[in-house]
């Protein structure tokens, strides 16, 4: 048999009907995650057609995008202040109840950002096809799943048929040799990858991250990398499962237990790409040469090493980006003033990220004039962080510690950055207005964000760790 990539194995195992020249493949979906923003119109289509949700056992809903992060509005019995958000939350509650969909609801201790709770609960597993009406579904690929974002019409397709019509994407290997130097994180790595590939470099492709540097990453770090695959335009990102993956999954609530675990494990071990399997493309990086990275423009591909400079010239788009950011060509990045620091999101809202931040904040204070918001990715992350006393570190430093959710990553719930202000954010998009109208976002790692919070300027976190 010919050598196959991991993507090809997962794809072909899920073909209900193979693609032909005239019709796309009918692809079976193992797990469908939904949230309040991209599902209402899909449920309306089902209702209008008198259709049930086909596989309730493969469908899980949660609330994360527009939910408040303020404790009072979730547990204090006061209604959600933002009316549009409250309506959307109530709509999903109604839809879930009417169709019988499992909802990890507003006050559930399992609630959190959909891409954080899937892995946490063990819903995310190697070899599965996973979709969600959300582009960062690519996160789940860290487990060797084929996971990608879909639009609302497709959410309706999956609810009604558990399938999607799909053309087979192409594959691209992203080989990262060497080891990341101390103080350089998975976020820095993925920003460097996007800088290399560009924001449309991965269009039409599924990326497979591989190589020594990827193998050395923890599951949380692999999720950070896969999460941002979409920022290079890719359909999905994948990492082959290995002992790190299995150790993470073992014993989680929704993974097979006992003998079923052994059977699953035997299957998962077959997933990695065969030696010599051909990819349509390959990108190669050397991790050992990387430094902490930060974005300076209005898309994630406009990125540079923190010790570097903003490019000194460029086209109209470059000038428009600098104009929006209020930066000059050729300026150094280190030393730029910061107003807001946001730690959280499905990219960097996990426990390891919060520990990184605490390492820098411990015994220090958030600089005068800087607002720092720390939003755990899930209620579980929140509990674990509090059990370690991280919340005390954050609060004594003067940071604001919240309930979980997407929060300032997209500013739908009222947590926004004011126009013209500079925000160093651990999230994944620095598009114009992403964190609020006129907000100026610089994407970076949790360590870099924490360093900016305590100094008030863009600072190499390694200076504060030595």
Partner 1 sequence: MEPITRITSRTVVMASSNIDTDQIIPARFLTTTTREGLGAALFADWRYDASGHPKPDFILNTPEAQGCRVLVAGPNIGCGSSREHAPWSLLDYGFQAVISTEIADIFRNNSLKNGLLPVIVDEATHAWLLAHPGAEVAVDLERRVLDLPDGRSVSFPLEPFARYCLMNGVDELGFLLSKLPDIERYERSHAK
Cα–Cα distances in Å, from 212 out to 216, 236, 287, 360? 6, 21, 9, 28
Residue 112 and residue 267: Cα distance in Å, rounded? Answer: 29
Interaction between residue 45 and partner 1 (CB under 8 A): yes
The answer to whether 404 and 378 are in contact (CB under 8 A) is: yes
Q: How many residues form the binding site for ligand SF4 (CB under 6 A)?
A: 13
Options 99-107, 161-169, 327-335, 373-381: segment touching partner 1 (CB under 8 A): 161-169
Among candidates 321, 306, 370, 364, which has minimal Cα distance to 343? 370
Kindly give, in sequence order, each residue whose CB lies less than 8 Å from that of residue 106, ignoring residues fewer than 6 positions away.
63, 67, 74, 89, 93
- Using CB under 8 A as the binding rule, the residues of this chain from 211 to 230 that contact partner 1 are 230
- Binding characters for ligand SF4, 126-145, by CB under 6 A (x = yes): --------x-x---------
Q: Residue 193: name its binding partner from partner 1, ligand SF4, none (Cβ under 5 to 8 Å by kind).
A: none
**Token pair for residue 32?**
């469908």
Shortest gap between Cβ of 121 and ligand SF4 (angstroms)? 16
State the Cα torsion 68-72-77-82 to the nearest 10°. Answer: -30
- Binding characters for ligand SF4, 336-355, by CB under 6 A (x = yes): ---------xx---------
Interaction between residue 259 and partner 1 (CB under 8 A): no
Q: Residue 113: name its binding partner from partner 1, ligand SF4, none (Cβ under 5 to 8 Å by kind).
A: ligand SF4
Residue 100, phi-psi category: left (phi > 0), alpha (psi -120 to 50), beta (remainder):
left
In the block, tokens 């991250």 appear at 209
When binding is defined by CB under 8 A, the residue of 5, 66, 425, 448 that contacts partner 1 is: 66
- Taking residue 455's Cβ as centre, other Cβ atoms within 10 Å add up to 19
Options 164-172, 211-219, 280-288, 369-377: segment touching partner 1 (CB under 8 A): 164-172
Cα–Cα distances in Å, from 289 out to 179, 180, 209, 232, 292? 9, 8, 18, 21, 10
- Using CB under 8 A as the binding rule, the residues of this chain from 76 to 105 that contact partner 1 are 82, 84-85, 87-88, 91
Residue 295 and residue 302: Cα distance in Å, rounded? Answer: 6
Looking at the DSSP bridge assignments, the partners of residue 129 are 146
Options 146-154, 182-190, 365-373, 391-399: segment touching partner 1 (CB under 8 A): 146-154
Binding region for partner 1 (CB under 8 A): 16-17, 21-24, 26, 28, 37-38, 40-41, 44-45, 49, 65-66, 82, 84-85, 87-88, 91, 133-135, 149-154, 156-157, 160-163, 165, 167, 169, 199-200, 203-204, 230, 233, 235, 260, 299, 301, 316-317, 320, 410-412, 419, 429, 431-434, 437-438
């Amino acid at each position: 048999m010919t050598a196959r990539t991991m993507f090809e194995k997962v794809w072909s195992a899920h073909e209900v009907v193979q693609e032909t020249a005239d019709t796309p493949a009918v692809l079976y979906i193992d797990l469908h995650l939904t949230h309040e923003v991209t599902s209402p119109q899909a449920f309306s289509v089902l209702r209008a057609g008198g259709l049930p949700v086909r596989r309730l056992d493969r469908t899980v809903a949660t609330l994360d995008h527009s939910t408040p992060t303020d404790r009072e509005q979730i547990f204090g019995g006061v209604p959600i202040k933002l009316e549009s958000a409250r309506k959307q939350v109530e709509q999903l509650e109604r839809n879930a109840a009417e169709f019988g969909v499992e909802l990890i609801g507003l006050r559930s201790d399992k609630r959190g950002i959909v891409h954080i709770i899937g892995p946490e609960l063990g819903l995310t597993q190697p070899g599965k096809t996973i979709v969600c009406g959300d582009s960062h579904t690519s996160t789940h690929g860290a487990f060797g799943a084929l996971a990608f974002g879909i639009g609302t019409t497709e959410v309706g397709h999956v609810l009604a048929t558990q399938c999607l019509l799909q053309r087979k994407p192409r594959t691209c290997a992203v080989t990262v040799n060497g080891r990341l130097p101390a103080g350089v994180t998975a976020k820095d790595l993925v920003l460097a990858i996007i800088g290399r590939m560009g924001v449309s470099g991965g269009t039409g492709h599924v990326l497979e991250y591989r190589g020594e540097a990827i193998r050395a990453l923890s599951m949380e770090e692999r999720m950070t990398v896969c999460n941002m695959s979409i920022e290079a335009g890719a359909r999905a990102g994948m990492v082959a499962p290995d002992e790190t993956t299995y150790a993470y999954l073992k014993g989680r609530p929704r993974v097979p237990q006992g003998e079923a675990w052994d059977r699953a494990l035997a299957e998962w071990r077959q997933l990695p790409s065969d030696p010599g399997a051909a990819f349509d493309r390959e990108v190669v990086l050397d991790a050992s040469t990387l430094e902490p990275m930060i974005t300076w423009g209005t898309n994630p591909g406009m990125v540079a090493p923190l010790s570097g400079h903003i490019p000194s010239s460029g086209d109209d788009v470059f000038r428009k980006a600098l104009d929006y950011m209020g930066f000059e060509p050729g300026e150094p990045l280190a030393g730029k003033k910061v107003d807001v620091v946001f730690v959280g999101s499905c990219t960097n809202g996990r426990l390891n990220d919060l520990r990184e931040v605490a390492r820098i904040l411990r015994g220090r204070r958030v600089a005068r004039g800087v607002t720092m918001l720390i939003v755990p990715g899930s209620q579980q992350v929140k509990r674990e962080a509090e059990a370690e006393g991280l919340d005390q570190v954050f609060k004594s430093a003067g940071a604001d510690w919240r309930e979980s959710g997407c929060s300032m990553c997209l500013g739908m719930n009222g947590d926004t950055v004011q126009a013209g202000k500079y925000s160093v954010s651990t999230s994944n998009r620095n598009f114009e207005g992403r964190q609020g109208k006129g907000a100026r976002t610089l994407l970076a790692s949790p360590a870099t964000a924490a360093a900016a919070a305590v100094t008030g300027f863009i600072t190499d976190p390694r200076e504060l760790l030595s």
